[in-house]
Every structure is written in structure tokens, then in C-alpha cells.
A = this chain, B = another copy of it.
Amino acid sequence: MARPKEKLLADVMVLVFRLNGRLLEQGDRLVERLNLTSARWQVLGALALAGRSLTAPQIASAMGITRQGAQKQLNRLMNEGLLEHRSNPSHERSPLYVLTDSGARTFAEADQLCDLWAADLGQAFPEDALHTTERVLGELLARLNRPLASLIGKRPKADCDPL
């Protein structure tokens, strides 16, 4: 075989980097008119998908970023009136966030645009190819969520110490 699996995988990695950039860029343009960016859109999405109020750390975790990163977008969305606080019965310093009417409307518009966009992009691909892609990327992600201690010759942290 001309391309060993490592090389194929390296190609996939490079594609992921490029795609990430393009997706964010096009996503930004897609929701520009709504005064959203990809980042703020994703926050609205986390709340809309959850269908209930969430705290900042919960939203961060749903987005796969740090709570500080999520907090920045939350503060901004609050200022713009797309979100509001609900007092959190089980944590007085950590409010729950919910979409305002304006926020829900804005997200619905973005979601419509996204469907059009995805339908347009998706028509080029056979269903099973998309499925395979999803499976591979998902499995890759799962493997990347484990540490790579062995390769870098770094000792595992104390709490991972072998008995």
C-alpha cells in the first residue's frame, strides 16, 4: 500500500485543522446578520439543546471548553439581552442561564440557516460515507481523550500511579 495508516491519519489531522478554520469562518458569516458569531451561537445552542437552564460550568462542559471561556460569551450574551439569569436554588453564587425570548428567536433563525447550509453541503455525500466519517472521528476523539503518557516519556500524574 502506498499510504500507510499513519500517513492517512496525518492527512486526516491536517484536514481537521483546515476544516475547523473554514467551518468557524463560514459559521461566522452565516450568523453575522443575527449579531452572532460561531462562539455565541454555540452557547445558545447548548441551552436550546438542553431545553433547561444551565450553569456556566455546565455550558462550558457541553461545549468542551473551559468555564472561563464559556463565561466570556455568557457575559456578552447577557449584555445583548439574549440570555438572562435565574436564581439557582442550589448555589447562590452560580446563577442558571436561560434564553430570553429574543435569544430563542435568534437561535431559531440561526438554526434554520444552519439546516439550509448543512443540506447544501451534505448533498454531495452518500449516507454511508458520512456515517463512516462520523464513526472514525468519534472514535478518534475518544482515543484523544485519554492521555498519551507513554509516547512523551512523561511520568503519569500521582493520581494515576501504578500500585
Chain B residues lying within 8 Å of A64, measured Cβ to Cβ, are 17-18, 21
Does A144 lie at the interface of the complex (its beta carbon under 8 Å from any beta carbon of B)?
yes
Does A143 lie at the interface of the complex (its beta carbon under 8 Å from any beta carbon of B)?
yes
Cβ contact within 8 Å between B141 and A15:
yes
Cβ contact within 8 Å between B138 and A15:
yes
| Closest B residue to A111 using CB positions | B10
Cβ contact within 8 Å between B9 and A121:
yes
Cβ contact within 8 Å between A148 and B30:
yes
- Which parts of A138-158 form the interface with B (CB within 8 Å)? 138-141, 143-145, 148, 151-154
CB proximity of A92 to chain B, nearest CB, Å? 32
| Closest B residue to A25 using CB positions | B144
Chain B residues lying within 8 Å of A154, measured Cβ to Cβ, are 29
Residues 110-147 of chain A, each 1 if its beta carbon lies under 8 Å from chain B, else 0: 00011111111111110101111111111111011100
